[in-house]
Amino acid sequence: MSIACGIPILECVYCLGCARWVWLKCLYTAGYESENWGLATAEEFEPIPRLCRLILAVYEDDLRNPLWAPPGGYGIDPDCVILRKNYEETQDQVPPYMVYLDHGNADIILAIRGLNLAKESDYAVLLDNKLGQTKFDGGYVHNGLLKAAGRVFDAEWEGLRELVEIHPTYTLTFTGHSLGAGVVALLTMIALQNLDKLGTIERKRIRCYAMAPARCVSLNLAVRYADVINSVVLQDDFLPRTTTALEDVFRSLFW
């Protein structure tokens, strides 16, 4: 009919429908889902600035001679850094990370840095996913981030177990920013599924602070692990506010 009239009516309707779908996806943000949530208490927020400084310290090559320290420094003792791994040591499969023993706060911390915009391997981890591709504990998770988290756990669980046994009253905290935040969120879930490998530590002594994480778990898992995993989002930060469906649109445009 559209050809007979000389006007591509069906094609125009189809294009308008697609344009409307993309427009609505671009307008919708995950912030709508949390707009009615309660505010965090001062006690809940207390460790976040300290952990943010520790994550920033992972970016440094030499903690004794830092180049990008914030005002007041990183607030850490270089002698208490148990382990550091860079891209070469992780074989570009995981962003660089550090294990730090925080005696002042009785905490064993594993911190992972954020996305390196100049590192192709980081994009490969972030884009290694399809909606509904990977199941975990009755839900769905981000495939690339789960693989990265599994590599970290396999490499470090014995060392973490040793630290937990030496310091039986300390908490175990996983923290990261951006890409690293997604990795530690899934790393925490893996750790909770394998508590026997971490010695005698209980679930209530394990915490995760994910700073501006990418969306990486289905809603049922987010609810189930909400007592352990804390997502920290600054106002309208783009990445954590982006829905999974919109991530697929961006990935298609990127490729």
Q: Please state the pTM of the whole predicted model.
A: 0.83
pLDDT digits (tens), the chain, 255 positions: 444 455 577 777 778 877 777 676 666 665 666 677 777 888 889 999 999 999 999 999 999 999 999 999 999 999 999 999 999 999 999 999 999 999 999 999 999 999 898 899 988 898 888 777 799 999 999 999 999 999 999 999 999 999 999 999 999 999 999 999 999 999 999 999 999 999 989 999 999 999 998 888 988 999 999 999 998 887 666 666 665 555 555 555 555
Q: Distances in Å between the alpha carbon of 60 and those of 102, 144, 195, 199?
A: 18, 25, 31, 31
User: Which amino acid is located at 200 in the chain?
Assistant: T
> What are the residue ranges spanned by the domains of the chain?
40-254
Selection from 208, 130, 203, 221 nearest residue 176 by Cα: 208
What's the pLDDT score for residue 10? 76
What's the pLDDT score for residue 2? 47
The CATH fold of domain 40-254:
Rossmann fold (3.40.50)
Q: Distances in Å between the alpha carbon of 77 and those of 81, 92, 173, 175, 226?
A: 7, 27, 17, 18, 31
Q: Under DSSP, is residue 84 helix (H, G, I), strand (E, B) or coil?
A: strand
